[in-house]
């Protein structure tokens, strides 16, 4: 969508606002993907801990 918006802007079909909106939508999608990935990793750690996993520091007192 961003590429198409850029092409349409360069061709004089749309305004630069459409390009900016497409960029914002892309950034929002990237943020959502990153957050989903983070939640996935947190879930893996929670599952590992729930199953009794963990670690002990070498210098435990």
pLDDT in tens, the chain (61 residues): 999 999 999 999 999 999 999 999 999 999 999 999 999 999 999 999 999 887 776 765 5
Name 11's Cβ contacts closer than 8 Å, sequence gap at least 6.
none
- 41 is written with which tokens? 């990793």
Tell me, what's the pLDDT at 38?
A: 98
In a 13 Å sphere around the CA of 20, the CA atoms on its Cβ side amount to 3
Tell me, what's the pLDDT at 54?
A: 73
Tell me, what's the pLDDT at 61?
A: 58
Hey, how many other C-beta atoms are within 10 angstroms of the C-beta on 5?
22
User: Strand, coil or helix: what is 29?
Assistant: helix
Beta carbons of 49 and 28 less than 8 angstroms apart: no
């Amino acid at each position: 969508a961003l590429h198409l918006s850029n092409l349409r802007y360069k061709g004089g079909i749309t305004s630069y606002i459409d390009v900016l909106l497409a960029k914002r939508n892309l950034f929002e999608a990237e943020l959502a993907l990153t957050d989903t990935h983070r939640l996935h990793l947190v879930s893996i750690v929670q599952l590992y801990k729930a199953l009794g996993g963990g670690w002990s520091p070498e210098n435990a007192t």
